[in-house]
Chains A and B, each alone.
Chain A
Amino acid sequence: GAVVSQHPSWVICKSGTSVKIECRSLDFQATTMFWYRQFPKQSLMLMATSNEGSKATYEQGVEKDKFLINHASLTLSTLTVTSAHPEDSSFYICSGGDGNQPQHFGDGTRLSIL
């Protein structure tokens, strides 16, 4: 089946630093990639949708200047959390799709800001 790889799986950093998370589709071309945030014991909340080669569409309440998304190729999207603060600590999950099959999810990135 389709595989999505997410890296890193866990990152701990100091408040004020920026963190980049990569999401790669390994065996299919992800024309669309999605970024979700999940707090403990809660469901996935969609943050933004990105289409290859165009600007991401952000959900209401998500700061686009805080969460920078780049989808430069059909197999790679990146999420950069800029000037991260403790309240940004969460589990970030990406998924990829080509419109013809259900989204396939990465294994998530646990972000802890000290």
Chain B
Amino acid sequence: TQLLEQSPQFLSIQEGENLTVYCNSSSVFSSLQWYRQEPGEGPVLLVTVVTGGEVKKLKRLTFQFGDARKDSSLHITAAQPGDTGLYLCAGGSNYKLTFGKGTLLTVNP
């Protein structure tokens, strides 16, 4: 069974601060996906990383896939209250995803 460990589990910061959350595994994944979920809603796909060492940017969010394709990170620059939510990484194929436990981010105004 492929496991994904996310850290930190909880993160509370002030608006304007930078942060990084991590997603680690002992297994190699063909791809990793990052989702954000708000309370009472389903997860929304942010990005898919496929190539080892790949870096993708989505406005203030920067996603990196480790060279060995076992880990990934999400860096948020100048966090805003609207970034508040549960950030989930997931790995596997389109047929079956394994989710990490998530990082619950709170950005205080």
Contacts and interface: CB of A to CB of B under 8 A. Distances in A.
The interface residues of chain B, by DSSP majority, are classed as: strand
Interface string A83-114: 00000000101010111111111111010000
A103 B94 contact: yes
Given A44-B88, A46-B96, A97-B94, A102 B33 contact: yes
B94 A43 contact: no
Interface in A35-69: 41-46, 49
A102 B48 contact: yes
Interface string B33-70: 10100001111110010000000000000000000000
Interface in B71-109: 86, 88, 94-97, 99-102, 104
A97 B45 CA distance: 13
Given A42-B101, A103-B97, 12 more contacts: A34-B97, A43-B99, A43-B100, A46-B97, A46-B99, A49-B95, A95-B42, A100-B94, A101-B94, A105-B42, A105-B43, A107-B42
Interface of B: 33, 35, 40-45, 48, 86, 88, 94-97, 99-102, 104
